[in-house]
Chains A and B, each alone.
Chain A
Amino acid sequence: MKEYKPKIVCFLCKWCTSAGADLAGTSRLKYPSSILPIRVMCSSRIDPMFVVKAFLNGADGVFIGGCHPGDCHYHEGNYHTRRRFAMLIKVFNTLGLESKRLKLSWISASEGTKFAKVSNEYTEEIKNYGENPSKWNVFL
């Protein structure tokens, strides 16, 4: 049987998490190709709609990476993200979608190892959940 390869849409902020992902590369750390990056300037740019769309379009997981609280390049963008993420989880639960497939993580430019670790662990988690069941059932 073909191995199930999840698709994880990853929104990475330019200053911290995307730079951390670059460092994971420079350090030649390995993680699965399920991690599919989209670089934005700040995690606060991520409209909840992007997450919902990714999910309903068929992504098996959605990952948001930003700077550690207090370290946001734009001072407070990640605080918006943190609140918005909490709200997203509520909305997902209310609609009966699997909120456990969403992940928010703070990864700095120096944390290449953390980026690789989170990518490995999160892919394993999503693999255990199997394919996203909503993708055939809900349309927006």
Chain B
Amino acid sequence: MKRIGVFICHCGINIKGTVDVERLTEELAQYPGVAYIENYIFMCSEPGQKLIRDTIIEHKLDGVVVAACSPTLHETTFQDALEEMNINRHQLEVANIREQCSWVHDDIEEGTRKANLIIKTAVEKLKLNESLTPIFASLTKRVLIIGGGIAGIQAALDIADGGYEVILVEKEPSIGGHMIQLSETFPTLDCSQCIMTPKMVAVNKHKNIKLYANSELESIEGFVGNFKVNIKRKPQYVDPDKCTICDDCTPVCPVVVPSEYDEGMGWRKAIYIPFPQSIPATFTIDTENCLGFNPIACTKCSDACEPDAIDYDKKPEYFEEEIGAVIVATGFDLYSVDNMAEYGYGKYPDVLDGLQFERILSATGPTGGEMYRPSDGKVPKEIVFIQCSGSRDPERHLPYCSRICCMYTLKHAKLYKHKVHDGQPYIFYIDIRSGGKRYEEFVQQAVSEDGIVYFRGKVARIYKEADKMIVHGIDTLTSKKIEIKADMVVLAMGIKPNNSAEKVISNLKLNTDENGFLIEAHPKLRPVESLQSGFYLAGTAQGPKDIPDTVSQASAAAAKVLALLSNDEISHSPIVAIVNEELCSGCGICVSTCPYGARELDEIKKIATVNDVLCEGCGACISVCPSSAAQQKNLTDEQILNMVKIYSYL
């Protein structure tokens, strides 16, 4: 019989607080198969691991159970410790007595009793574990990045500079994301376009980056190192190779619609280039508004186009790409202001959201950077900014802090003051969160130099009287009612995951949190990886953050991908299905059950087979096998039934 060592971790008091580790050690010492048992304060520490390594030699162990935190945290740490002692890593089992035991129970009797059972199931499973070697598969050294905001752009450039090919997919006609819409950026007030456009051009020029703009991921199959993706490029109806960007088309187009780039503060035509520095630099026809799809109605742009670049009959194109890893950088959208009826958005043209105000501040915006209000073009002399609009309100809106709006509001007030010297900005706030590097200094400077008036409190109501917006609120510090007759109101809307991210995230089978942000493999120690191997996260798709944090995370994800690609082969978990040839009747039910096409019928032997490289180890084919011929390595029916027995016998 296997000689199993059991190591019970105290995790400081995290486990010891609700599990009597001494008693457990005594109780389990006599359990069949347990050759050695010990408890220690921190098993994951170096002394803890050394204890395992030394005991393996001293007590001639050939299997180890570590009773500690969830296996998602330290399973590989302990597996590595075994391997160092030349014991196969599959001779380790982790008994999760923290997340699923000590942390969820209060009573020490209960906790100890349950921990005892959990450890016994781990011992039972380990008794029948086989030693396995990883399955090696080839590795495609190319990366897919979804989303061409600053996160996707930074990651693409880093990986491409590292010498590997990047496929960058952006759903909009141009890359740039939200950052290209911003005026100047806190805390240094450098112009967003000036720091962003060189990066966009670099993406376009880089020999290792293949850009699919106006495109979306259709499907993905395969596993880490070996994915096949299908990308759909939506038709732009203008051939980028022929288009010379002469802009003869837009003046003749009769259709005028609100510009997305200007957040509805300006206009564009039905044939348009999102903004002058768009990458790729091509025009696009917006089918929803163009009249030309009925050629009798309009062919004006096509008539004006000298190089004959316009083709109304263009169809979507589909491209297959092989890649080894994926970075998801789908970014954010503002929480919709339509949810904030009490603030009069949509009803009053001078109530704007943060991005609309960015466009008015921007030199490339609809007012050329001059401060005019939308309703009548007057210069606003008093502006009310409302922080936490839609954030930190678990009852009605987003429960979390959007992290950037305190800072961008202050930036807005400051930039406004730079443009309208006799103007008065007022800010309603709950707290001011300025935790970034040099952020507090930025706040202090603005408050002392720019004469911004802060009210701590929420705004109850906004209504219109003549050409003023009447803002009612309470200053909770003085308990006084506040009424301001403002010319303009800016709502510092919170941010949420990009509206079109949900579809692609569910396509990739990634996990999101209750707010739709991507979940990282570990909140502190693996912040840019997904638990699903081969997938990495960057930017605001993972949670609200500013540009410095977005860029750091994107470079971190790129570093992780570069580390993966520096291997020549990829190892694949050997916990796969196997077939007992003597029992298999060749019925083929497993073949139709496997979602990965890993099961095939061997026509000569008349039995089912398993392609190890394709098998992802879900086990679906095992429970459908009517002859019990299929098994899962190291999670056989016998192992599971032995665990069931521990729990259900009296």
Contact = CB atoms under 8 A, between A and B. Distances in A.
A21 B72 contact: no
A54 B644 contact: yes
A74 B103 contact: no
A70 interface: yes
B647 A38 contact: yes
A54 B640 CA distance: 10
Given A15-B511, A47-B623, A47-B637, A24 B104 contact: yes
Interface in A13-66: 15-16, 18-19, 21-26, 28-33, 36-42, 44-50, 53-55, 57-59
Interface string B634-645: 010100110111
Contact of B644 (A25, A38, A45, A70): A38
Contacts of A28: 103-104
Given A33-B111, A59-B647, A80 B640 contact: no
B649 interface: yes
B317 interface: no
B637 A70 contact: no
Given A7-B647, A80-B620, A110 B512 contact: yes
A109 interface: yes
B648 A71 contact: no
Interface stretch (B112-120, B371-379, B560-568): B112-120
A42 B620 contact: yes
B648 A9 contact: yes
Interface in B509-525: 509, 511-514, 519
Contacts of B514: 110-111
Interface string A69-109: 01111111100100010000000000000000000000011
Q: Interface size bucket, B side?
A: 35 or more
Given A38-B644, A53-B644, A57-B645, A26 B623 contact: no
B110 A33 contact: yes
Given A33-B111, A33-B113, A46-B623, A22 B70 contact: yes
Interface stretch (B94-102, B342-350, B402-410, B453-461): B94-102
A126 interface: no
Contact of B624 (A16, A71, A80): A80
A31 B102 CA distance: 11
B125 to A, nearest CB: 9
Interface stretch (B33-41, B246-254, B330-338, B611-619): B611-619
B532 interface: yes
B289 to A, nearest CB: 33
A45 B117 contact: no
Q: Interface size bucket, A side?
A: 35 or more
Contacts of B620: 42, 44-45, 74, 77, 80
Contacts of A15: 511, 531-532
Contacts of A48: 623
Given A25-B98, A25-B99, A38 B512 contact: no
| Most A CB within 10 A of own CB, among B617, B618, B643 | B618
B174 interface: no
A54 B111 contact: no
A40 B121 CA distance: 13
A57 B595 contact: no
B386 interface: no
B632 interface: yes
Given A21-B99, A49-B637, A110-B519, A54 B648 contact: yes
Contact of B575 (A9, A38, A41, A73): A41
B619 A41 contact: yes
Interface string B580-620: 00000000000001011000000000000000000011111
Interface of B: 70-72, 96, 98-101, 103-107, 110-111, 113-114, 117-118, 121, 506, 509, 511-514, 519, 531-532, 575, 593, 595-596, 616-620, 622-624, 632, 635, 637, 640-641, 643-645, 647-650
20 contacts: A15-B531, A25-B99, A25-B103, A30-B106, A33-B105, A33-B111, A36-B114, A40-B635, A41-B635, A44-B619, A44-B623, A45-B635, A49-B637, A50-B640, A58-B650, A73-B532, A74-B616, A77-B595, A84-B623, A111-B514
